[in-house]
Amino acid sequence: MKKKQQQTGDFERLNFKSLILTNPNYFGTFKGAGFKLIKAMSTNTSYEELMCLGFHPQLSQLEGVVYVKKNGGYSGGLCSGGSTEYVRFYLSFDGGATWDDQGMAQFSAYDMPGTKPLEYGVSMPVNPRRRFCWTENLIKARAILSWNEPPTANDPGYTPVWGNVVDVDIQVAPRRFFFFDELFEETKIKLPDDFILPVEKEFPIPIPEPEPIQIGELHKMYKAGKDVPQHRYLYKALQMQTNVSMASHVSGKDGSGMPVTGDLPKLIHPVGNIFAELKIDIGDLLDILVQTDGNTDYEELTCIGFDTTNEALVGVINLKKTSGYSGGLCSDGSREYVAFWVDWGDGAGWTHEGTTSVRVHDINNMPSKGLKYAVFEAVGLSGRRRRCSTAVTAKVRAILSWQVAPPSNDPDYVPTWGNREETTIHIPPGAYEDYKPILESISGVPVCGIDQSTGMTPLPWDQPFGGVLTITGFIPNAPDISTPDVDKLRYRVQIREVPPLPALPGPWQTVDNTFGISVIERIGAALPTQYGISQEIQPDGYYIYREDMNVGGLGWRLVQNRVLAQWITAAPMTGVYEIKVNAKDPTTGILYAAQTLLCTDGTTRTTVKVKLDEIAPDCLVQITGFSTTENGPVTPIAGCATLKAGHWIHGTYSVADEHFGSMYLDIQPQGVPGANGATPDPASKAYPIVPTLGENGTWKLDTTPMSACGYVIRLRVWDRTIVSSNGGWYCEDFEGFCLKT
């Protein structure tokens, strides 16, 4: 999408919220009639910009990096709560024709002096369909950054006033299991009708992890016209034969860390007969490698940032070539390692905070702008947080190295294949208290984004909740989970009804249903992995807390989206409910209440109130007449009538709901013969143009472009309820008619 760069004065930035509350179309970005454009402005990136977007195939997680560029313009300093930067994610499986909403992440930005830009990371777990390794599963990802105004759900064309849109191509990891019927379908094998499968069709068959391709096979594969130099595809094999790093053997570095002199590495032992058999001159390759420091022809680290929600350092890597990554999707491929270093400014210099990696492969259909991969390393920096009177920033250095992990004792390491990036990050204000839970979001909405006077999101959308409410949060500095389950830290989520005053709230009830969580972890030097756990309530009414930011000092374990509970709501539940969470140490019996959050509007949250709406809209569409011209006299008719092409059809619609959202009128089928683009007027309407309780209205349709056929006019209606973290409650209605020539 084309990015518009525009300058603006302080007035629009300082008064942004009040301007759009008074007139949603003040800047010309609101999709709907009835509001006058005052000042055209969109995708302004002078204050913040989404710079990079990537995907970690093994974690199935999108990562974005946002630059916050200025010292002011973020609604206040560290003690005021600042303002919110929202990022909504989408995936497209048809080349960008349609997009599926994946959810929204956010972080707080503040007025604060110092080095700029500050680089923030945002993460979103996704679940695209995986395919067998012989099919390259390339899809598109989109992220929309919007300051102080969350992008509307299921609206991939949303245009932010402050922010921008980034589209990239990503690669989905292949499946590591198959079902027999799917295997035959994918391979187009036709089985005899009387063939009996040796196992049940629904029984999953695991696929063993592939072994690394051996030197001889790599040589044969890349020698055949792939244009990959020997010192690339044999790099790891050569590295394993030496006693020093190919890129760190130098005796000195200049001020930027680049090598200035050096000697060839000494071989530990003879390489063996394989290189001689392949007629490969090791000496020549080593000569070339000495001159190949920081090569970014194949991969390049483009952005790094700090994900404040997950307390993780993230990075985005651009892969540029089709070949040179040690094999395709059915092979073991190769690894892109990123080592993270942090300088806290305390005189201790660079501290190694962890090394992570992502697996990559040769891709035949490489997009012109490359494929965007991501790395993720949880670092658990909550202990670095301070009260809002003190700004905590730090320098971060990240070193990308293909196939060989950077040493953990050398922050000046220069990789042979890869590069180095540096930035400044900000640790959010507010010192956490150990073991006291933090309640973060409800169904994807930050708790600070829920108005506690209504239990809904703020104006102008004021959305209630329904369906399954996903409750997220975390417990700072939870003790090591290597202990047995009976001794692990536990937590409890409770709800109670809050009726209108003067009635008193109802009793607290414990959420105790079983639900699934997705866990990601990295242990030692292994790749980060993802797996599922079934969270079951324990006899004491608590769930076991599954996170550990320091698994024995050798890695970390994180619950994706930091899900604490799935609260199942349904009709006839309605009204306002309050949610709270606490923790318990099972060995001592000590209870820990949730701690209080400071929100960007100056309010605080310890618990959170939500308004429930479990009722779908009512909707009705009818045909009432036709006319020979648009404004001619209308002849009454009923539905299922036969009309002449070229006439105008007239009708009525009605939509009713407590929290009306949007309605759409269209003609089905759209094809040949078909409607040929004919569209009812109005084609759509939305709140707040339509009142929250809905409306009754009329529509009309010019049938001139339509072919003779049978049709239906379709009315689709959604309300504004956030149902199970997604779109609203839905209804639809149809009315049929026929056209003749």
**Burial annotation 17-33 (CB, 10 A radius, 16+ → b, else e):** eebbeeebbbbebbeee
**Burial annotation 155-171 (CB, 10 A radius, 16+ → b, else e):** ebebbbbbbbbbbbbbb
Last residue of a domain, one of 262, 290, 318: 290
Q: Do residues 638 and 736 both lie within one domain?
A: yes
E strand or H helix at 12: helix 10-14
Amino acid symbol at 268: I
Q: Name the least confident of 55-64, 286-295, 609-618.
A: 286-295
How high does pLDDT run on average in the chain? 87
Q: Do residues 602 and 676 both lie within one domain?
A: no
Displacement of CA 581 from its chain's centroid (Å): 25
Mean pLDDT of the region 445-452 = 91
Q: Do residues 673 and 549 both lie within one domain?
A: no
Q: Taking the CA atoms of the chain, what radius of gyration do you get in angstroms?
A: 29
Q: Do residues 694 and 593 both lie within one domain?
A: no
Nearest to 614 by CA among 713, 526, 719: 719
Q: Do residues 585 and 709 both lie within one domain?
A: no
The model's pTM is: 0.83
Last residue of a domain, one of 612, 629, 651: 612
Structural domain includes residue 542: yes
Nearest to 444 by CA among 66, 75, 24, 150: 150
User: Residue 561 has what pLDDT?
Assistant: 86
Structural domain includes residue 280: yes
Q: Residue 698: give its domain's CATH number.
A: 2.60.40.10
Report the domain count for the chain: 3
Last residue of a domain, one of 226, 257, 290: 290
What number of CA atoms fall less than 13 Å from residue 337's CA on the CB side?
Answer: 19
- Strands 515-523 and 529-535, sheet pairing: antiparallel
Displacement of CA 391 from its chain's centroid (Å): 28
Structural domain of residue 603, as residue ranges?
A: 438-612
User: Residue 672 has what pLDDT?
Assistant: 59
Mean pLDDT of the region 414-438 = 92
Mean pLDDT of the region 323-345 = 95
Q: Do residues 509 and 604 both lie within one domain?
A: yes
Structural domain includes residue 298: no
Q: Do residues 622 and 608 both lie within one domain?
A: no
Contact 398, 341 (CB under 8 A): yes
Q: Name the least confident of 89-103, 174-188, 319-333, 658-672.
A: 174-188
Structural domain includes residue 146: no
Structural domain includes residue 394: no
The Cα–Cα gap between 295 and 82 comes to 41
Structural domain includes residue 235: yes
Amino acid symbol at 142: R
Q: Do residues 479 and 548 both lie within one domain?
A: yes
E strand or H helix at 653: strand 648-656
User: Residue 243 has what pLDDT?
Assistant: 44
Structural domain includes residue 598: yes
Contact 698, 604 (CB under 8 A): no
Contact 316, 52 (CB under 8 A): yes
Q: Do residues 460 and 506 both lie within one domain?
A: yes
Q: Do residues 460 and 493 both lie within one domain?
A: yes
Structural domain includes residue 339: no
Contact 219, 267 (CB under 8 A): no
| pLDDT at residue 327 greater than cutoff 50 | yes
User: Residue 269 has what pLDDT?
Assistant: 41
In the three-class reduction of DSSP (H, G, I as helix; E, B as strand; rest coil), residue 186 is classed as helix
Q: Do residues 547 and 527 both lie within one domain?
A: yes
Residues 178-210 have pLDDT tens digits of 655 555 565 555 656 655 555 555 556 666 778
Spatial CB neighbours of 268, under 8 Å, sequence gap ≥ 6: 241, 242, 243
Distances (CA, A) of 242 to 286, 288, 671: 10, 15, 66
**Burial annotation 651-666 (CB, 10 A radius, 16+ → b, else e):** bebbbbbbbbbbbbbb
Q: Which residues lie across from 303 on neighbouring strands?
A: 316
Q: Do residues 568 and 638 both lie within one domain?
A: no
DSSP 226-276: ----HHHHTHHHHHHTBSS-TTT-EEEE-TTS-EEEE-PPPBSS---HHHH
